[in-house]
Amino acid sequence: MKNLLQHVQAFLAVARHGSFARAAEELHLSPPALTVQIQQLEAWLEVQLLERTPRRVQLTTAGEELRGPLERILVDLGDVQTHARDLAGLRRGRITLAALPSFFMGPFPELLKTFQARHPAIEVRLQDVVAGRVEALVREGQVDLGIGVRPRAVGLDFQPLYVDHLQLFVPRDHPWAGRAEITLGELDAVPLLLTGRDSSVRECLDFAFAAAGLRLVAALEANYMSTLLALVAAGQGLALLPESAGGEAPVVALPVRGESLARPLGILTPTGRSLTPAAHAFVALLRERLQTD
């Protein structure tokens, strides 16, 4: 490809100057080297482009007809090269990211602020979805990468980042609000505000309660953690949610002692598929700020 571009540039220089000597001087080539490039281009196109006489050089009919298209190709390829270099240099580009809502409510805002400060020309597009949907979007190539739990399906690579601990959120006036922590056993058969059954939080709770021989009872289910927190704040119940979900909500978060209520979260990427330079840069930031041993 590089040689072909050089050959096209050589032909257009000769066509522009009407002289091999002046074209060779412009291109910093020797006249014999320039002649070889023109001959190789003519051989590749299987047509004569120039007529050479002792006194002048002129375009053949084919040369006249092909000059315009070759000029446009050179401009287009130059634009492609510039675009590619901009992508590689992170001077333009886009990242599409699918992640769990708790990630967007937790570490993501500061990550985005840092990333945009480093790479202001990169556009970031987001989809906050449940764990199964994160997997599907990454596997189908609809997003560049995902942040979620360890995938069940094949075809996805998982790079662990950090552990997302679940806590019990209670109203500020609840009798437990002054406690430093709670045990999972105290929540046996207590009606709780829970996320839907298709969420990774619910899956984590189902497993933990079953492993401890406890009953997980749903007083109410909702798709969004913000909805559950609003209900907790209004005194409508208690909720077990990721610690990052609390934010500025007027509730109290209690660590759960003695049981492992946690979800390892990480980066999901398609197996065997290369990331864009922009996505590589974002993954590097994730590892820098979030990855734990």
DSSP H helical segments within the chain, as ranges?
2-17, 20-27, 31-45, 61-88, 101-105, 108-118, 131-139, 200-211, 225-233, 277-290
Contacts of 52 (CB under 8 A, 6+ apart): 20
Pairing, β 251-257 against β 182-183 = parallel
| Cβ count near 64 (within 10 Å) | 12
pLDDT at position 8 over 60: yes
Instruction: Enter the tokens of residue 213.
Output: 């021989």
pLDDT score, position 67:
85
Can you tell me the distance from the alpha carbon of 58 to that of 53, in angstroms, rounded to the nearest whole number?
Answer: 9
Q: Among residues of the chain, what percentage have pLDDT more than 90?
A: 45
Can you tell me the distance from the alpha carbon of 109 to that of 182, in angstroms, rounded to the nearest whole number?
Answer: 29
C-alpha dihedral, 148 to 257 to 178 to 164, nearest 10° = -10
List the domain boundaries for the chain.
2-88, 94-161+264-290, 164-263
Q: Are 130 and 200 within 8 A, CB to CB?
A: yes
Q: Are 204 and 261 within 8 A, CB to CB?
A: yes
Whether the domain at 94-161+264-290 and the domain at 164-263 fall into the same CATH topology: yes
Question: Among the ranges 104-108, 121-125, 189-193, 279-283, which has the highest mean pLDDT value?
Answer: 189-193
Beta bridge partners of 270: 156
With residue 256 as reference, give the H or E element that holds it.
Answer: strand 251-257
Contacts of 147 (CB under 8 A, 6+ apart): 97, 98, 99, 100, 103, 134, 161, 265, 266, 267, 268, 286
259 DSSP assignment: S
Question: pTM (2 decimals)?
Answer: 0.66
Q: Which CATH superfamily is domain 94-161+264-290 in?
A: Periplasmic binding protein-like II (3.40.190.10)
Q: Mean pLDDT over all residues of the chain?
A: 87
Report how far apart the first and last C-alpha atoms of the chain are (Å, whole number).
Answer: 45
The CATH number fitting domain 2-88, selected from 1.10.10.10, 1.20.1070.10, 3.30.70.3420, 2.60.120.20: 1.10.10.10
**Domain covering 164-263 assigned CATH 3.40.190.290 in the classification:** yes
**Exposed, middle or buried by CB within 10 Å (0-12, 13-18, 19+), for 94?**
middle
pLDDT score, position 93:
79
**pLDDT tens by residue, 255-274:** 998 667 888 999 999 998 88
Q: What share of the chain is helix, strand, coil (3-state, %, to 5)?
A: 45, 25, 30
DSSP assignment of 21-42 equals: HHHHHHHT--HHHHHHHHHHHH
**pLDDT tens by residue, 52-107:** 876 778 888 888 888 888 888 777 776 566 555 654 555 667 889 999 988 988 88
| Cβ count near 127 (within 10 Å) | 15
Report the amino acid identity of residue 253: A
Q: Are 218 and 191 within 8 A, CB to CB?
A: yes
Instruction: Enter the tokens of residue 247.
Output: 């934010």
